[in-house]
Every structure is written in C-alpha cells, then in structure tokens.
Amino acid sequence: KQEVTQIPAALSVPEGENLVLNCSFTDSAIYNLQWFRQDPGKGLTSLLLIQSSQREQTSGRLNASLDKSSGRSTLYIAASQPGDSATYLCAVPTSGTYKYIFGTGTRLKVLA
C-alpha cells in the first residue's frame, strides 16, 4: 500500500533563504510524481511534474528531484519570498490504480 510522507510538517524561514522540502513514498512503482501548492482555503496549483524516467525538473526558482530507488523527492526553492508562503503537497499516482496518493503537506511561511 502506497504511503506518502512529507517532512517537515511546517517550516518558517526568513526571506531570501534557500530551502528544501522532502517527500518520501513507500512503493517505488510510480510513473510520475507531482508537486502542488495550496493557498489557504484554495484548490491545488500544479508546480512541477516529474516523470519516472526523469531525475529532476525545474521551473523558475523551483527545482524538484526524484529518486525512485530510494523512494524520495525533494522540492528546492531558491531565494524564498513571502509570496511563497503556502502549503506544498506531493502526490504520486500508484501503479495499477488511477488515484493520486497525497502527503499531508509542508506548511511554509516566509517572513519578510
């Protein structure tokens, strides 16, 4: 049974810091992994999608890596800004099913 864990659960950093969010999963039979951003009370915004054949994906100040063999993904945010404050969720579609399994998220607060 696929389980997704995100560490840390919450993070508070001063503006300008580089930071790393972690996502781990128990079943490596995945075909992609997706990182989402969620603002309070809002829906999910897709940030990055990494296919199982890829090792990393970049979009602006965001970089996500994937290591299937160790069951880990990291989201790196460079030069953090107060506007980056949100909850970040990772999700994996599990092989043989159609559903996404989500982690519980990391609540990020970037202080001005």
Partner 1 sequence: DAGVTQSPTHLIKTRGQQVTLRCSPKSGHDTVSWYQQALGQGPQFIFQYYEEEERQRGNFPDRFSGHQFPNYSSELNVNALLLGDSALYLCASSGAGTNIQYFGAGTRLSVL
Interface residues with partner 1 (CB under 8 A)? 4, 31-32, 34, 36, 41-46, 49, 89, 91, 93, 97-105
CA angle 48, 70, 54 (to 5 degrees): 35
Residue number, 36 or 108, with CB nearest to partner 1: 36
Residue number, 15 or 31, with CB nearest to partner 1: 31
Residue 104 C-beta: closest distance to partner 1, Å: 5
**Strand (E) or helix (H) holding 4:** strand 4-7
